[in-house]
Structure 1
Amino acid sequence: MLIHPWDAPTDDAEWQDWLAAHDFGQLAVNGPAGAPPMVQPTHFAYDPVHREAITHLARPHPIWRALEERPTVLLSVVDDYVFIPGPWQAAEGAPPEHGVPTSFYAAVQLTCTAHIVDDPGAKAALLQRQTGHFQPEGGSAPVAAGRAPYGRQLSGVRGLRLEVREVHAKFKYAGKRSEAVQQRIAQRLTERNGPGDEAARGHQERRRAALSGTRP
């Protein structure tokens, strides 16, 4: 992923906070020689303390053999994306039709080493961590090996710990544009008010404030 300086995170907290609220991504795994990568959409829980993401998949999944052979994987998360029409980006004083259309989006890519979890106790603990992330309010029985209601179902899944080796994050929200053009884009996003526009405008204004050293 190409990351220009004006699209890079302002600090680690920016991408970590965003990732904490965006816990569904695509796990890309190297396929056999001559075959395309395998891509699996999945919910996951990211743990910044241990620098790992955790998830689980069904035991019959063909991804396991690929992981055993090549454990280096990529977990990719993209969201808060919108299309920006060309006239919105036209330079000050230039004809609107000379503006270049583009996409706004936030993206985090985690390069990881995959560790398969098959021990029943460790697998139950991993699933309990996931449940705690997605259901912090509770409401589900504890996940424990050999105990109802989930103990018998543990054999049907395998756990997966994704040990993070590298992080590439990008927040593409007109960071290289002038203040006037950025304000114009923010106003157009407000007026359009389509899917994703509010989140995109929030990113743009937050980053503009952070980079200028002021508050929005």
Structure 2
Amino acid sequence: MLIHPWDAAHDDAEWQDWLAAHDFGQLAVNGLDGEPPFVQPLHFAYDAGRREVVTHLARPNPIWAALEAHPRVTLSVVDDYTFIPGTWHAPEGAPPEHGTPTSFYAAVQLHCVAHVVDDAQEKADLLHRQLAHFQPRGDHAEVAPGQAPFGRMLPGIRGLRLEVADVRAKFKFGGNKPRATQARVTGLLAERDGPGDAAARTHQLRRLGRSG
């Protein structure tokens, strides 16, 4: 992922705060020799303190052989995207049709080392960590090996811990444009109010404030 200086996260807090509100992404794993990469959509829980991601997948999933052969993986999360028409970015004094269209989006890529979890108790512990994120009110039964209702399901899954080695974060919201152009686009996003526009506008206003 290309990250220009004007699209880079201002600091770790920017991408960490954004990622804290996003827990669904795509896990990319190198394929076995001669095969294309595996890309697995999944829910996950990111633990900032431990710098790791926890998740699980069904045991029959074809990703496991590739994952064990190539444990260095990328977890990609993309959201808050919207299309910016070229007419919105036309330079001052130029015909509107001379503007260049582009995309706005936020993206975080976690480069990780994968650790497969097969021990029954360790899988139960991993699931509790996920449940603490997704069902924090505790409205779920305990997961324990050999105990109902979930113990019998543990052999059907494999746990996955992703040890985060590097983070690449990008907030592409027109930071290379003159401030007047950016301000115009924030107004046009509010006026259009299509899918993703409000989130993109929030990013743009925040980053305009940081760069001012």
Which structure 1 residue ranges, 4+ long, deviate > 6 Å from structure 2? none
**Aligned equivalents of 1:63, 1:34: Cα separation in 2:** 15
Query: Is the CA contact (8 Å cut-off) linking 1:113 and 1:163 kept in structure 2?
Result: yes
Residue correspondence of structure 1 range 42-121 to structure 2 within 5 A:
42-121=42-121
Residue 177 (structure 1) aligns with: 177
- Amino acid in the other structure paired with 2:79: D
Query: Is the CA contact (8 Å cut-off) linking 1:57 and 1:159 kept in structure 2?
Result: yes
**Aligned equivalents of 1:161, 1:48: Cα separation in 2:** 13
Shift of 1:138: 2.0
- Amino acid in the other structure paired with 1:162: L
TM normalised by structure 2 equals: 0.98
Q: Secondary structure at the match of 1:199?
A: helix
Query: Is the CA contact (8 Å cut-off) linking 1:120 and 1:145 kept in structure 2?
Result: yes
Alignment gaps of 5+ in structure 1: none
Alignment gaps of 5+ in structure 2: none
**Aligned equivalents of 1:51, 1:175: Cα separation in 2:** 29
Q: Deviation per CA, 1:48-85, whole angstroms, max 9, x where unpaired?
A: 11111110000111111111111011100000000000
Residue 34 (structure 1) aligns with: 34
**Aligned equivalents of 1:91, 1:145: Cα separation in 2:** 64
Query: Is the CA contact (8 Å cut-off) linking 1:10 and 1:211 kept in structure 2?
Result: no
**Aligned equivalents of 2:145, 2:6: Cα separation in 1:** 49
Cα RMSD of the aligned pairs, angstroms, is 0.7
Query: Is the CA contact (8 Å cut-off) linking 1:83 and 1:104 kept in structure 2?
Result: yes
**Aligned equivalents of 1:2, 1:104: Cα separation in 2:** 14
Q: Secondary structure at the match of 2:202?
A: helix
Shift of 1:146: 2.0
TM normalised by structure 1 equals: 0.96
Q: Deviation per CA, 1:74-125, whole angstroms, max 9, x where unpaired?
A: 1000000000000101122222111100000000001110000011111000
Number of aligned residue pairs = 212
Q: Which stretch of structure 1 is more off in the superposition, 70-79 or 88-97?
A: 88-97
Q: Deviation per CA, 1:11-41, whole angstroms, max 9, x where unpaired?
A: 0011011111111000001111111100000
Residue correspondence of structure 1 range 150-161 to structure 2 within 5 A:
150-161=150-161
